[in-house]
Amino acid sequence: MMPRRPVHLVGLLALWAMLVQGIGCESAFDRHRVSLIRDHDRGDFAGAAVELDHANEEGLYGSKNEVLWLLERGAAAAATGDSKLAISSLNRAEQQTEFFYSQSASDIAGQWLIGERASRYITRAYENQYINVVKMLAHFQAGTIENGPTVEARRMASKANRMRDKFADVLDEVRSEGVDDAYTLRNPGAFIESPLGVYLSAIAFRENGQPDMATTAFARLRTAAAAQAGLGISGDTSYVDELESLDASRQDALFVAVGGVGPRLSRQSIGPIFIYTTPIYFELPQIEPGGSRAARAIVEIEELNGSTRTVELSLIEDLSAVAEANFQQELPVVHARTYVRALTKSGLFTAGGFAIRNSANSDEAKAAGLLFSLIGGLVYLSATEKADVRCWSMLPGVAWAGVLDLPEGEHKARLVFLGPGGQRLHVGEWATVRGGAYGLDSVIEYWPG
């Protein structure tokens, strides 16, 4: 009869190989996401669009990740100047997010019992408001002043109120599962509204002859700017007073320089380790801060006499810092679900190990069975306890902006991103803007550096 020891050894080696492969392997979806980020970060927005379209055709996103695809596709379209596609994609993302906003019982159960990636992606709370911000930018870029930007402004304001309520209630979900009260939020309910979004809202309301709404937006802008300053970002909010003092008839040209990358998520692995006969392995999402290499942004304007003047743009929002601060409000419930779920699974394998050890089998069979239980437990945990790092990877990092009153007539203007030493990092294309009674022209420039 063939001795059993080699069979046990082969089986254990196979399980160990599965464990190593399960912890380190990447899916086709993961590889696509890496490629997408590479295209974006080198400024190849058209390439990112092609990458997204191909991945969608291959079914990599499916219904579970359709909203994520729409977010990325909308951002790619906005960066390439295809405002119509940007708005339609982000409208669909917003509609689905609203429809699935209250997670189904199966999604909630899946998150607590199976894994974070078991649920449908419906945008992270910190991402939701930027759907409207990017749509406002697309509307301005397309020259759509009536209805479009003001509709997005109202939607964003409504979301901000809802997010504050959501963040204030986050701990209820954690504690309802019996998790210790030690989970606390740094600033419960302290959702920071996008300063860029509120800035664009004020401009849109005033341009559309809604002074009362504009006044409210300016008040919200001061609040948002102060909250951002609390993160260590520039506390200079003099641009708010300057913008508010500008008569609507003198809003000739809006310039927005959108640079860098927003925060992204990566995995922090805990394990694989054994605590006595208990296998431990799980992953937690962690923030990878974004930002921009640019320190300033200016607009260069060709005057009617042929000379060129420069105007310094104001830092309106560090989107990366604001998004990161808002995401920190979500982490306690994610961590709590992970701890409860992973320890429950580990406990099942521990119980199995005790059952094997107390069985009537031979010592050799008990030892082999216990090893199978331990390593098998790690294999299962490595497969099911992967952190959910799905996020809107094409979200920009920083925005500078300004509204100018121009002399009568047509002018050429372009946006320039400057480094800490004043070096020119990126120069946009020349665009035509008009001074006088022509309404508001807009120049939006995206650069991921």
The string of DSSP letters for 43-92 reads T-HHHHHHHHHHHHHTTSSTTTTHHHHHHHHHHHHHHTT-HHHHHHHHHH
The arithmetic mean of pLDDT across residues 256-281, rounded, is 81
Please say if the pLDDT value at position 179 is more than 90: no
What is d(CA 220, CA 186) in angstroms, rounded to the nearest whole number? Answer: 22
121: nearest Cα among 60, 174, 177: 60
Other residues' Cβ atoms within 10 Å of the Cβ of residue 276: 6
When the pLDDT of each residue in the chain is averaged and rounded to a whole number, the result is 82
Q: 427 by DSSP, 3-state: which?
A: strand
- 3-state SS, residue 402: strand
pLDDT of 295 above 60: yes
Confidence bin at 369 (pLDDT 50/70/90): low
Structure confidence at residue 304 (pLDDT):
78
295 vs 260: CA distance, rounded Å: 11
**pLDDT given at position 62:** 94
Q: Which of the residue ranges 80-94, 154-168, 380-394 has the most confident prediction, judged by mean pLDDT? A: 80-94
Q: What percent of the chain has pLDDT over 70?
A: 70
Statement: residue 440 has pLDDT above 70: yes
Query: What's the confidence (pLDDT) of residue 383?
Result: 62
List, in order, residues 6 or more apart from 139 with CB less than 8 Å away: 83, 87, 145, 148, 149, 152
CA distance 85 to 79: 11
Q: Are 446 and 75 within 8 A, CB to CB? A: no
Q: Specify the higher pLDDT residue, 285 or 421.
A: 421
Give the confidence band of 108 by pLDDT, cuts at 50, 70, 90.
very low
Q: Contacts for 365-368 with beta carbons within 8 Å, 24 or more apart?
A: 365/4, 368/4, 368/8, 368/11, 368/12
Q: How many C-beta atoms lie closer than 10 Å to residue 107's C-beta? A: 16
Residue 342 pLDDT level (bands cut at 50, 70, 90): low
Does residue 434 come out as left (phi exceeding 0), alpha (psi in the -120 to 50 range) or beta? Answer: beta
Edge-to-edge strands, sheet with 314-317: 314-317, 398-404, 253-259, 441-447
Q: Determine the average pLDDT of the residues in 269-278.
A: 68
Could you tell me if 246 and 235 are in contact, meaning their C-beta atoms sit under 8 angstroms apart? no
Per-residue pLDDT at 367 exceeds 80: no
Percent of the chain with pLDDT over 90: 53
Query: Smallest Cα–Cα separation from 339: which of 394, 381, 392?
Result: 381
Q: Which residues contact 146 (CB under 8 A, 6 or more apart)?
A: 208
Place of tokens 């509709």: 151
pLDDT reported for residue 287: 86
Residue type, 212: D
More confident site: 413 or 103: 413
